[in-house]
Amino acid sequence: REVYQFSEIPAQVIPQDVTIICISAFLICSLAALIPAYFAARLDPVKALRYE
């Protein structure tokens, strides 16, 4: 006897959705890495290391 009404989870993998998700994840991760690196590259090393 089944407890749930479904015997399996109804799911459909659409290649276009997978592609959009992968490209979006790549762009978000790239920006999350490049934006702090850009600001760190603009710092003067002497001022940045003064508080170390």
Query: Which pLDDT score is estimated for 24?
Result: 99
Q: Which residue is it, tokens 């762009």? A: 27
The C-alpha R_g of the chain, in whole angstroms, comes to: 23
Taken as a whole, the chain contains a residue count of: 52
Non-local (6+) Cβ contacts of 48 within 8 A are 40
pTM attached to this predicted model = 0.65
Query: Which pLDDT score is estimated for 1?
Result: 58
pLDDT per residue as tens digits for the range 1-50: 567 787 888 899 999 999 999 999 999 999 999 999 999 899 888 887 88
